[in-house]
Chains A and B, each alone.
Chain A
């Protein structure tokens, strides 16, 4: 018995020492922002783990503190955790001072809920008029007022391994003229014949599957189809029937990696793409950071293919403005606005680009150059060109639709991709839910 007690005491001592040392290390490694300022603002972001984020926010908040003696406490959470946490915080009436919104219908929901503060006065300041493009401003406007500052411009592309395309003598499509579905399939067949997976999929989860779905929906039915159905001018059955038939056909062609359904988000798809086992990867611009780091890898981005029967649907790009909103419940509104204009300074915009390699939504200044990797630069150019030719950035259907309908859209989409339902059944369910939530077709 004696010995057991000795072991127990030793074990407890070790654990206590470990705990104390952990705290000690933390205190000394921790953020250098002093805690003695009077005002502290909280800022929650969903970018946990993205390279450069920690560094950028560390630098920015430190500089802000040095200048204004206001602490901004940034907390990063990953994916789902962020939305669970934000929703419960909002529901309990104690949200963070800043959080992320995506403009469009997302912004509208928050405005209706009275969760976000009106920051139109920021938009009337000179810097905003110079730096925030008209298209971005429109997305952030609800009932004539603006509620968030657009910061990051994310768009969805078909990323390719240029080396593989060259190896099999396949033409790499131009970013503005694009390529047809038939060309896409022909190239996929070449890859399959040579033992390469044509398209790496990021698993059977609702988020990853919205990217191919939104494009197939638009290329099949045109850019206005979804919005019209949402406004109940047309029904969802027809458009989803067509879309899901195309999806089912594509899935049946076996263009994805074996066992793709349980791929663990990007963590499984990315290595396949990076080591050359897969030729293409559907992804948003935020996700290619790790690939662009590898200088050996020849990364390219091509637009989603269009159907030869519907060429006018070509040239549209899906994307979103990752924006920062101020919570209506905040107690330091003026200081919060100050922070938003602070990080919108050209210096910090270029810092953001340089550290995170994400495209920014605001216009950069030539006195603070930012180095985009070539692929992202090409993407930036393509987006500007598209907007100039009258094809604005499209918002994802899931963001346009009210949450309950979004849920149904995502669910049915996953069921179609995994072969658990037929296109017609999915289309009918979606229409039924839409009628239930929004109302019948007028």
Chain B
């Protein structure tokens, strides 16, 4: 058996370390480059894009951002600025409601067997595999019956209900990883079921719950189909749809403004990501779980 410190081993480990490092760097560049390229694209005119694909823009068109933000608002489209606000409202309210409602359900479904638990659990998780298109028309009819068409509230309710399978599933993982000894201790201390949930379980599962919320937020912010079908007034349109309508049609594709719009629409999620990336990692670790 060769010694750990022989020259051959040293060379080999150096080699693997360098290669490993190189791979990480390459991947990081690959992950980030399309972003940078989009930022560069947002600063070029259409012609510059086709002639100078790679390089820096010769004259940065910062006005693309202002143009993207303010154009629209007459003849049936709305400005990205206005759609931005709509998206903020819809995403925030959806997440707030989900944040209140899904951990409760997740806790209830993480408990030991009781009547009906499995049924509801399977029913809820099955929702993760439904394609949204098929329920569109009955959903529209239902909303019409409730006078909720063309309103952001209707949109929010739809997002909440369709986001429940996913967020309950993820939150439930967080609750499952709590050692049962803690819950027994709570019972001994005389806490009611709800108090156990509120004071003991929820704080422990919080990191995992938060990940679910963040992933849902990303989904709702980026969604396209529900606003298209459920919202008729342009002024209530959300961001992705407006980007598409305003700048990406068959004829005068304004790549510059579109790219600016993509960057604008990505910034809030980016901020969210920067703030919570530590939490995300902790949450996943918690979800995977401390061994009982």
Binding site for B on A (CB under 8 A): 4, 7-8, 11, 15-16, 18-23, 25-26, 29-32, 42, 45, 48-51, 53-58, 73-79, 81, 84-85, 88-89, 91-94, 96, 265-267, 270-271, 287, 289-290
Contacts and interface: CB of A to CB of B under 8 A. Distances in A.
Interface stretch (B135-143, B156-164, B208-216): B135-143
B259 interface: no
Nearest to B51: A275
Contacts, number: 143
A175 B2 CA distance: 87
Interface stretch (B21-29, B112-120, B243-251): B243-251
B271 A93 contact: no
Given A22-B82, A26-B79, A94-B144, 8 more contacts: A31-B74, A48-B77, A49-B249, A57-B76, A75-B76, A78-B249, A89-B232, A270-B251
A85 B229 contact: yes
A22 B81 contact: yes
A273 B141 CA distance: 46
B191 to A, nearest CB: 28
Given A7-B275, A30-B235, A74 B251 contact: no
A54 B77 CA distance: 9
B34 interface: no
A74 B76 contact: yes
A323 B81 CA distance: 33
Contacts of B228: 81, 84-85
Interface in B55-90: 69-70, 73-85, 88
B176 to A, nearest CB: 28
B187 interface: no
A73 B76 contact: yes
A42 B249 contact: no
A62 B64 CA distance: 29
Nearest to B138: A92
Contact of B88 (A15, A53, A93, A266): A15
A81 B234 CA distance: 14
The 5 closest A-B CB pairs, nearest first, are: A22-B81, A49-B249, A54-B75, A26-B82, A92-B140
Contact of B80 (A22, A30, A77, A89): A22
B85 A22 contact: yes
Contacts of A270: 251
A73 B81 contact: no
Contacts of A19: 84-85, 88
A109 B271 CA distance: 50
Interface size class of B (residues with CB under 8 A): 35 or more
A71 to B, nearest CB: 12
Contacts of B79: 22, 25-26, 29-30
B179 interface: no
A79 B251 CA distance: 11
B155 to A, nearest CB: 14
Contact of A22 (B69, B244, B247, B271): B69
B42 interface: no
A4 B279 CA distance: 12
A287 B252 CA distance: 10
A271 B50 contact: yes
Contact of A49 (B82, B137, B250): B250
B238 interface: no
Contacts of B247: 49
A21 B73 CA distance: 14
Given A88-B136, A271-B50, A94 B81 contact: no
13 contacts: A18-B81, A20-B85, A22-B85, A25-B79, A26-B73, A30-B74, A30-B82, A49-B245, A51-B251, A73-B76, A85-B229, A266-B251, A287-B251
